[in-house]
Structure 1
Amino acid sequence: MSRVLFVTSEAYPLVKTGGLADVSASLPAALRALGHDVRVLLPAYPLTQAPASHHAARFSVGRYAVDLWQTTLPDTGVPLWLMACPELFDRPGNPYLDAHGVDWPDNATRFDLLCRVAARIALRQAGLDWQPELVHANDWQAGLTPVHLANQPYRPPVVFTVHNLAYQGIFDRPTFDALGLAPALWHPDRLEYYGRFSFLKAGLVYGDWLTTVSPGYAREICAPEGGMGLDGVLRARSDRLEGILNGIDTRVWSPEDDPYLPAQYSARHPGDKRRCRYDLAEALGFGHSDAPMAGFIGRLVAQKGIDWLIEALPAIIQRGVRVVVLGDGEARYTEPLRQLAAEHPRQLAVILGYHEPWAHRVTAGSDLLLMPSRYEPCGLNQLYAMRYGTVPVVHGVGGLADTVRDPDRSDPATANGFVFTEATSAALLTTLDRALVWFQRPSDWRRLRYNGMTGDYSWTMRARAYDTVYRQALADRPRPGNTHPEAIAAGS
């Protein structure tokens, strides 16, 4: 098995803004279980709460002093290096935004440093007694890692994973110059991107192998409709692009022993799910009722189709469905949600912000999970929901289409949710109506729930797919003295 450096900007439970954090905790642990020696590199933000650590190395990168502190990812045993540079990372707010929700103006410098430190470790130039055979870099924040390794002899290959193509790390030419990047990289076939430059494009062009988080999303991003300006690059590299579904941490997400729930249950003994629904309804002020409960958990942004849901909510409420929305996002969505909740306090609750205990309670206490995403690279909430016996209603895109099987479009014996394909609020409502018909047929509903609860959503199978990509990358590893292949004709 291989020594792997896993480069990420967030990892649960230390720091989390989205699904990248969950993957960065679970995938390294699953790879470790397969025998890989995986080490995670993560910036040392002030919000990082890690187990006791010891000082591993100190060096300078340009004018920045960097300390590496070694510890482990909680509950995994996976070695973790925290990259400490207080000038760049010891600040309030989340990893990318200040307290007002505005991008930190030096984000390019901050995450270029992460990439340069990853390259130092990869080349055994960081004073550590360990060197990876392969680097696995994740999302735009790690996108310059293969660029900093590209012309180095004896470099390890880089697998670059896109978790969400919408977040591209785009900056201007003065920022490019300030980072000290080679002028030759300012080219449409390299880093230049419509007059600016993109960290994400750097990873796509210079990564040796590319992955993304579902087979469906891998197909979508190679087309103009889903490629967000990078479809040309992705088509050019499609022979090195693999779509691998995300898994979930079944230790954290298990209705059988979830500490956040008032009662635990399982696929074979699902009776106490009803108690979770009553507990949730009571907490939200809905009172006791057997009316169906629908949940939405996610960022309140256009990607998640929250505007479609807001448009459909009056009709959903009119049908007697109780709805809880958990998430945070843009005021243009939070304000109408607040207003609707004030008008319908017994049927609509809005919980702003992300709270892990609430996420578990809403997942367990709902009968239906609504995921009307415009696009969804993989999606984790539908996987959590199915494991908890909560039937998803989803827009058939990306990983949602890969994981949810509609009884009207597939074998009802294996169906686990409901899918709409038209990108409208009307289609969401029509599909919810179909789900409500099934809800009124208890035996059919139990079968849907059972199918969802007994699916394999663990990282074990997914880790094997990454192991295959690693083997391919290592088999094609750069020969000594070789530089990166000539630029790829990308057309952007």
Structure 2
Amino acid sequence: MKKVLSVASEAVPLIKTGGLADVVGALPAALAGQGWQMRVLIPACRGVLAQLGKVKQVWTDPDLFGGPARVVLGKCGGVEVMALDAPHLYDRAGGPYSGPDGDFWDNAERFAALSWAAAAIARDGAGGWQPDVLHAHDWQAALAPAYLRYWGVQIPTVLTIHNMAFQGRVGATKMAALRLPPDWFHRDGYEYWSDISTLKAGLTVAYAITTVSPRYADELMRAEFGLGLEGVIQARAGAVHGILNGIDMAVWNPAQDPEIIPFSAGKMAGKAKNRKALMDEFHLDVPGPLAVLVSRLTPQKGIDLLPSSLEDFIAAGGGLAILGSGDPWAEGMVQGLAARYPGRVGVKIGYDEGLSHRMFAGGDAVLVPSRFEPCGLTQLYGLRYGCVPVVSAVGGLADTVIGATPATEAAGAATGVVFHPVDDLALRQALRKLTSLYADRKGWAALVRRGMKTDWGWDASAARYAALYESLL
């Protein structure tokens, strides 16, 4: 069996702040069926080692960016995990990127250390195990393929962009601290407008670049999505591959989900019961379509479009349940919506995994009005749970939701509502379309079942990753 080392800042079930963790945690099992053994290297943030239980030390470094470090091998949730145990870097209160007082001041060094360890393991092995391919995720791991290139080590590398908005940009004064060779500080290396970009460092040298949807791969060549790195993507277009994310079909299974009243496309009675339970939980009374929004509350997610888009939807009988956290202004704004529309808009600030399952199970529709969305998993969870997606026509949203139009409805192909451009007028029109579709009970039932029967598991995507790895060897 061929071997691949996947290096990332988070992975379920050990560390999660977003969809990156879901992808990194799901890929190993999916790839096993393709003949690849994947181990995941993550930082041993506080609490990680306790979750791993019995571990075996497989790698050490007496001075990894300011202190001693080791890598231990263990298992969690069926995933073989290599945890980088460097207390001076990772044993801190908070999450993987920030603590009670905000982002950690030394994040550049913390994730350079993760990349350095990954590159060293790819070059020399760890505990008798050495990967055939190194797969890095986002800016936090992007220096791993760069270090290998700087060392002159020829091991196939893949870098996946989960979100181009985060580029690992720091001042050039960090060059020595990050152990970067000065002769690579130029426009074709890691230099970015006189600063350092760790993401660019990896993009310029990785054997292959992947994005988490085909459309996002195309979008990144344009300035509004490439965010300053579109020239790099254009220059490396032949190495760029869009591979759609999947979801864990066992975890997200409405027929066996312990958080909800079970239902399926063939037995839908439980859906109505979940809807009633969700309204009770949010203290809502909604005669029309009940929409849900499970999201970070940031401008990227189009949250600011809600106040000017909801009035007609609410007047037509609709309602909205919101779960999320983010920018203080956005949290205040959605709380204001709940005060403005009592009984029709409910808000819970924070994140609750179980509640998110109950929301997809009880909601009639899920709103994803993102300005950009590399892949998006929310709309896939919605489809799986009979919660019709209302999405903007960007990235993975456009790749996974078939908008209801006369043509797609006549063909029996529609699975949701897709709108463009991303502004409040288009969102108002999309909500009007949602209300119209909901009123046709027979057509609505067919729309819901069609989405539920679509397979968004990992098998097809894992096969594409396996084929890409093979092509690089």
TM-score by length of 1: 0.93
Matched-pair contact (CA < 8 Å) for 1:139–1:162: yes
Alpha-carbon shift at residue 317 of structure 1 (Å) = 2.2
Matching residue of 2:57: 56
Q: 1:442 is matched by which residue type in structure 2?
A: R
Seen in structure 2, the aligned counterparts of structure 1 residues 290 and 318 have a Cα distance that, compared at 3 Å, is closer
Q: 1:250 is matched by which residue type in structure 2?
A: M
Q: Identity of aligned pairs, percent?
A: 40
Matching residue of 1:45: 45
Match of 1:311, SS state, is: coil
Matched-pair contact (CA < 8 Å) for 1:248–1:458: yes
Seen in structure 2, the aligned counterparts of structure 1 residues 63 and 438 have a Cα distance that, compared at 3 Å, is closer
Alpha-carbon shift at residue 319 of structure 1 (Å) = 2.4
Q: 2:422 is matched by which residue type in structure 1?
A: A
Match of 2:41, SS state, is: strand
| Alpha-carbon separation, structure 2, partners of 1:370 and 1:141 | 29
Alpha-carbon shift at residue 410 of structure 1 (Å) = 4.5
Seen in structure 2, the aligned counterparts of structure 1 residues 367 and 243 have a Cα distance that, compared at 3 Å, is same
* RMSD across aligned positions (CA): 1.4
Please tell me whether residue 295 in structure 1 is matched to residue 292 in structure 2.
yes
Write the mapping of 1:143-162 to structure 2, written as runs, cut at 5 A: 143-152=142-151, 155-162=154-161
Write the mapping of 1:328-367 to structure 2, written as runs, cut at 5 A: 328-367=325-364
Match of 2:111, SS state, is: helix
Q: Deviations over 1:456-476 (max 9, x none)?
A: 1000111001111111111xx
| Alpha-carbon separation, structure 1, partners of 2:7 and 2:105 | 22
Matching residue of 1:440: 439
| Alpha-carbon separation, structure 2, partners of 1:91 and 1:115 | 19
Q: Deviations over 1:47-89 (max 9, x none)?
A: 4252313232332235421122211131xx2311111111110
Point out where structure 2 has 5 or more consecutive residues left out of the alignment.
Answer: none
| Alpha-carbon separation, structure 1, partners of 2:130 and 2:151 | 15
Matching residue of 1:117: 117
Please tell me whether residue 73 in structure 1 is matched to residue 72 in structure 2.
no
Write the mapping of 1:162-201 to structure 2, written as runs, cut at 5 A: 162-201=161-200
| Alpha-carbon separation, structure 1, partners of 2:152 and 2:189 | 20
Alignment partner of 1:276 out of 274, 277, 284: 274
Q: 2:465 is matched by which residue type in structure 1?
A: Y
Q: Deviations over 1:222-248 (max 9, x none)?
A: 112211000100001010000011000
Matched-pair contact (CA < 8 Å) for 1:168–1:198: yes
Alignment partner of 2:389 out of 387, 392, 402: 392
Matched-pair contact (CA < 8 Å) for 2:150–2:181: no
Higher RCO (C-alpha 8 Å, min separation 6): 1
Match of 2:408, SS state, is: coil
Match of 1:150, SS state, is: helix
TM-score by length of 2: 0.96
Write the mapping of 1:83-482 to structure 2, written as runs, cut at 5 A: 83-100=84-101, 102-124=102-124, 126=126, 128-152=127-151, 155-261=154-260, 263-287=261-285, 290-408=287-405, 410-412=407-409, 413-474=412-473
Moved more, 151-160 or 428-437: 151-160
Alpha-carbon shift at residue 268 of structure 1 (Å) = 0.9
| Alpha-carbon separation, structure 1, partners of 2:281 and 2:65 | 53
| Alpha-carbon separation, structure 2, partners of 1:259 and 1:178 | 48
How many residues were matched structurally?
468
Seen in structure 2, the aligned counterparts of structure 1 residues 286 and 199 have a Cα distance that, compared at 3 Å, is same
Alpha-carbon shift at residue 321 of structure 1 (Å) = 1.0
Please tell me whether residue 30 in structure 1 is matched to residue 33 in structure 2.
no
| Alpha-carbon separation, structure 1, partners of 2:413 and 2:455 | 13
